[in-house]
Amino acid sequence: MRVGIGYDVHKLVEDRTMIIGGVTIPHVKGLLGHSDADVLIHAIMDSLLGALALGDIGYHFPDTDTNYKNISSLYLLEKVSSLIADNGYEIGNIDSTIIAQKPKLAPYIYDMRRNISEALNINIDMIGVKATTEEGLGFTGKEEGIAAQSICLLNSIISK
């Protein structure tokens, strides 16, 4: 059994589409990043990679590589899923939290969970996604950015 934790943050800017959990969310601003800047998927990937001590998403998908410019983070999550299997593990569960003052994310949570389950080829019941505000405090509360945290449990599939 291995446990990993991930954290990511992206700045909110004008003239960018907001994509969180693979869902396009209508909002006046979007998240700035080299890829699609999906803060939730990035936190999940880092928790999965961290559980196996495989580095972080920047190591596997560097922002200096033009192949990853504006790429779907769900596609990258599929690649991380392959790394997990290649290392002899399977996902036990994932729990994550999105920290954003606005927009309200509750209407999109189920679709986020479905997208993640499809990318990882696991049951949707193994994925927790929650959203919270910081009551106007900090950079997320002032609507300067959005953050996400994730924790995961991986189980060995190799007999010992």
- Phi-psi group of 113: left, alpha or beta (phi > 0 → left; psi -120 to 50 → alpha; rest → beta): alpha
The answer to whether 60 is annotated as binding is: no
Residue 35 marked in a binding site? yes
17 is in an annotated binding site: no
58 in a labelled binding site: yes
Is residue 46 part of an annotated ligand binding site?
no
Whether residue 144 is annotated as binding a ligand: the answer is no
Please indicate if the annotation marks 10 as binding a ligand: yes
Report the Cα 32 to chain-centroid distance in Å.
15
How far apart are alpha carbons 75 and 61 in whole angstroms? 11
132 is in an annotated binding site: yes
Is residue 27 part of an annotated ligand binding site? no
Does the annotation list 125 as a binding residue? no
Q: Is 134 annotated as a binding residue?
A: yes
Residue 14 annotated as binding site: no
Binding positions: 8-10, 34-35, 42, 56-58, 61-65, 132-135, 139, 142
Binding positions for a divalent metal cation: 8, 10, 42
